[in-house]
Amino acid sequence: MPFLIKLMFEYTEEDGKKLLNLARQSISSQFNQQEITKLKDKQFRQARGIFVTLKKKDELRGCIGFPYPNLPIQEAVIDAAKSSAFQDPRFPKVEERELKNIKIEISILTHPQQIEPKVKNIEIGRDGLMCEFVGYSGLLLPQVATEHHMNSLEFLEQVCLKAGIPKDSWQNPNFKLQKFQCQVFSE
């Protein structure tokens, strides 16, 4: 097993529960004005890339995150949870009354690695994709491909569409593609 994959699973189920609680507390604090209780353990001070996904009745309700490890994980979770609930431009702001019906998912990302944009370089169910082309960028978490039953070609095309570029842009020599893996915690 490559070293990178071992690093991906450094958070325990208990750590995941604490991060999920922190995310929910972050969203709730916008309604009840209560102070967010920070996590004291050292693993929550590590900088990590993360995404917080909100779902209501198994439908996407918000998803915002940070692909690169620029913030300590607990700060990233707090910011991404609030942004997912209140700043995702695809959805109206979460209302207090609907919060009890929202399930939170946290994806902790490995550091993205540049790869050659070829179907054979993408493993469905393991890899997430991030692309950049002519000033546009897009990112899809690994679970998107499995949830929507995509093959590697469809996943590559969908990350292009997510970036707002034609689905065959990955064939252009100036197209840049990165892949990453996630450790996922869900309520």
pLDDT tens digits for range 51-60: 999 999 999 9
Measured between alpha carbons, how far is 54 from 23 in angstroms, rounded to an integer? 10
Q: What is the pLDDT of residue 169?
A: 97
Q: What is the mean pLDDT of residues 165-172?
A: 97
Q: What would the pLDDT profile of 120-168 be if each residue is shown by its tens digit?
A: 999 999 999 999 999 999 999 999 999 999 999 999 999 999 999 999 9
Phi and psi of 51, rounded to 5°? -130, 140
**In this model, does residue 35 exceed pLDDT 60?**
yes
Q: What is the pTM of this model?
A: 0.88
Joined tokens for residue 66: 């940070």
- What span, in angstroms and rounded, lies between the C-alpha atoms of 169 and 101? 38
Lookup: tokens for 157: 């095309």
CATH architecture for residues 113-180: 2-Layer Sandwich (3.30)
Domain 3-109 = CATH 3.30.700.20: yes
Q: Domain residues of the chain, as ranges?
A: 3-109, 113-180
For residue range 69-98, list pLDDT tens digits in order: 999 999 999 999 999 999 999 999 999 999
DSSP state letter for 101:
G
Give CA torsion, residues 146, 148, 152, 158, to 10 deg.
-130
Output the CA–CA distances (angstroms, integers) from residue 96 to 31, 32, 39, 105, 123, in the order listed: 7, 9, 24, 18, 39
- Could you give the CA distance from residue 163 to residue 160 in angstroms, rounded to a whole number? 5
> Coil, strand, or helix at residue 94?
coil
Residue 9 is predicted with a pLDDT of 52
The pLDDT confidence band at residue 10, using thresholds 50, 70 and 90, is: confident
**Closest C-alpha among 171, 110, 160, 104 to residue 131:** 160
Instruction: Look at residue 85 in the predicted model and tell me its pLDDT.
Output: 98
Determine the distance from the C-alpha atom of residue 22 to the mean position of all C-alpha atoms in its chain, rounded to a whole number.
Answer: 16
